[in-house]
Structure 1
Amino acid sequence: MIDALQSFTSSLPEIFQWVGVLLMGAIPFIESYFGSAIGILAGVHPAVAIPAAIVGNIISMLIFVLSAHGVRSKVGQGREAKELSPRREKLRARFDRYGVPGVSLLGQLILPSQITSAAMVSFGAAKNSVILWQVISIILWGVVFGTFATFGVSLMR
């Protein structure tokens, strides 16, 4: 799959390769960290690939957070909370232990930012707090992986 995404990005005209990286950043499990690395490996300049992957990931995360907030607001009115699945229970325990900053920064090791952020909002976390910490996390992870990819490509040459 990574080869296909890399081929897709390199097949675009050079002026539009950032769009391919932006789209990769919006895909859960690819996100800013793999999106920036794949873009760099496809030949997109790091100064373009890293921000494009970050912006794609942020846009996608915002869609998930705002959707989850809207659903929670509509569905949660006057209803009892139902039992959580084992996976959501594990995420809830981490949320209770580490809070929004911890889950945002470390949650990407377990689940995509889109799923993690939507789950936190569904647990009752403040939407703006989730958005702020997810943006910080997305930028951090995108820059770190983009930097690693940049140094890796320069070592290969």
Structure 2
Amino acid sequence: MQDLLIKLQSIIAGAPEPLAALVTGLAGAIPFVEGEGAATIAVIAGVNPVLAGVFAALGNFLCVLTVVFASSGARQAVVAGITRRKTRSARRVEAPALVGANGLTEHLDATATAFQDESPRAAARRQKFTVALEKYGVPGVSLLGPLLLPTAFTASMLVAVGVKARRVMFWQTIAIVGWTTIFTVMVTAIANI
């Protein structure tokens, strides 16, 4: 990962500013680099902080948007397949509802059936995520998620448990813009000392 960051910084530093901004956007689309990492690299490389922040956030946003809508489509296909199987076998399984501290109620419906064959490790991670979702709700998981996981991972997990794609994108957009802005301002301030 360190080699990737060094290569990105050298590419951005050696490019004219419009191309450097574009590379910053592409770097923002890389999980674990994210908007905040790409903006940091670009500001250190000498790119205008406003361009760095905007393009880094835009790259991160486009990556998350793609992941959310792909995950949403995959979830719909899985749920439709499970529903067809249930209809054929004439049995109905009710899934538990998630009720968060902020009143969030999202039904897991057929998704619970889809997780039956997962490994114990995956089940433990999903359980931790579910507890965090219950405790902090979609806004909290979205805003605090980048501290632990890339935004694309957090967003896909939210969609997988049944949160609507629009709602996920709303909160992920706020998180991406917020974190990228915070890092851009911090690095710019430190670079100007």
Q: Normalized against structure 1, the TM-score is what?
A: 0.94
The separation in 1 between residues aligned to 2:77 and 2:141, in whole angstroms, is 25
The 10-residue stretch of structure 1 (142-151 or 11-20) with the greater mean CA deviation from structure 2: 11-20
* Higher normalized contact order (CA 8 Å, seq sep 6+, divided by chain length): 1
Q: Residues 7-86 of structure 1: matches in 2 within 5 Å?
A: 7-79=10-82, 80-83=113-116, 85=122, 86=124
Does 2:170 align with 1:138?
no
Is residue 5 of structure 2 the alignment partner of residue 5 of structure 1? Answer: no
CA RMSD, aligned part only?
1.2
Deviations 1:69-102 (A, max 9, x none): 0000011125223245122221122112211100
Greater share of residues in helix = 1
Residue 29 of structure 1 aligns to a residue whose secondary structure is coil
1:89 corresponds in structure 2 to: 127
Deviation at 1:3, TM superposition (A): 1.6
Gaps in structure 2 of 5+ consecutive residues = 83-112
Whole-angstrom CA distance in 2 between matches of 1:15 and 1:115: 29
1: CA distance, partners of 2:39 / 2:17: 16
Q: Distance in 2 between matches of 1:35 and 1:134?
A: 17
* TM-score (ref. length: structure 2): 0.77
Q: Does 1:123 align with 2:170?
A: no
SS of residue matched to 2:80? coil
Larger Rg: 1 or 2? Answer: 2
Mapped partners of 1:72, 1:28: distance in 2: 21
Correspondences of 1:92-103 after superposition (within 5 Å): 92-103=130-141
- Secondary structure of the residue aligned to 2:114 is coil
Equivalenced residues, count:
155
Residue 148 (1) aligns with residue 186 (2): yes
What amino acid maps onto 1:75 in structure 2? V
- Residue 113 (structure 1) aligns with: 151
